Amino acid sequence: MNATNESSEPSLFQKVDHYIAQLVAPETEPMQAATQRILAQGWGDQSISPVQGKMLEVMARACHTKRILELGTFGAYSTLWLAQALPENGYLLTIESSTQHALVAKQTIETSPKASCIDLRVGRAMDILHELIQQHVEPFDFIFIDADKPPYKEYMELAIRLSRPGTLIVCDNVIRGGKILDPHATDEKVLGVQRLNTFLQTCTTVTATILQTIGSKEYDGMVLAVVNE
């Protein structure tokens, strides 16, 4: 199943997504500009949708989030949504390995009303996470994993080490149009999320579920995992 039809007519999922977005997830001007900046680069729009952005903001607010960690900034579209959940003295660390993505993200972050709270670091998430652990940084209240898919399980394990009981960890793209059902998958992205999803089956450190996501984007899903006491 795919949320996008063969025809140019929007699917029911797309129409309903648009309806929800109009009601409760209107984009700010910086968000619209962020998408234009991404498309102008000729990059596929891998950002989350407005409705998904609002969902992240709602969840981050529910955690009374003061410190957010994001892996995979891309064009900083999701960063803008997450930053909306922060108090004035909040902190959002977002990590991007691509210098090209980071250059565009930097322009977008400068337009955020919460720009002073946002720390964009360019480098491999794996290296930066290990540094943060060594530095014994304060735990994060909300963590969004949306970086390269092959090491998703390792990112989850490191995210747990940077968390506290009650921290919510969300991982994007864990259903991949249903390709995760294929036991013979060879795509490294599919294999990466399969490893994460299987890890959650026996991981006792978090209480987790997986939410299927449909709407204006491809059929996919997000892990929602809360760190146990």
Interface residues with ligand DHB (CB under 6 A)?
46, 146, 172-173, 189
Q: Which does 189 bind (CB under 5 to 8 A by kind): Mg ion, ligand DHB, none?
A: ligand DHB
Q: What are the tokens at 183?
A: 């036991």
Among candidates 130, 129, 77, 121, which has minimal Cα distance to 99? 121
Residue nearer to ligand DHB on the CB measure, 140 or 219: 219
Neighbouring residues of 86: CB distance < 8 A, sequence distance ≥ 6: 60, 65, 66, 68, 92, 114, 117
Q: For the sheet with 67-71, list strands across it.
A: 118-122, 91-96, 67-71, 142-145, 168-171, 220-227, 206-213
Q: Which does 179 bind (CB under 5 to 8 A by kind): ligand DHB, Mg ion, none?
A: none
Name the residue with the smallest CB distance to ligand DHB: 46
Residue whose CB is less far from ligand DHB, 57 or 66: 57
Which entry of Mg ion, ligand DHB, none binds 11, CB below 5 to 8 A by partner kind? none
Nearest to 91 by CA among 137, 49, 25: 137
How near is the Cβ of 135 to ligand DHB at its closest, in Å? 27
Q: Which residues contact 147 (CB under 8 A, 6 or more apart)?
A: 71, 72, 95, 97, 125, 155
Nearer to ligand DHB, 57 or 172 (CB): 172
Alpha-carbon span 153 to 199, nearest angstrom: 7
User: In the complex, which residues of this chain contact Mg ion (CB under 5 A)?
Assistant: 146, 172-173
Name 15's Cβ contacts closer than 8 Å, sequence gap at least 6: none
CB-wise, 17 or 172, nearer to ligand DHB?
172
CB of 67 to Mg ion, least distance (A): 21
Write down the least CB distance from residue 173 to Mg ion, Å. Answer: 4
CB 111 within 8 A of CB 33: yes
Judged by CB, which is closer to ligand DHB: 167, or 173? 173
Nearest to 172 by CA among 145, 206, 151, 210: 145
Shortest Å, Cβ 112 to ligand DHB: 20
Closest CA to 227 of 69, 118, 81: 69
Q: C-beta of 83: minimal distance to ligand DHB in Å?
A: 18
CB of 81 to ligand DHB, least distance (A): 14
| Nearer residue to Mg ion within complex by CB, 97 or 173 | 173
Residue 141, contacted partner among ligand DHB, Mg ion, none, CB below 5-8 A by kind: none
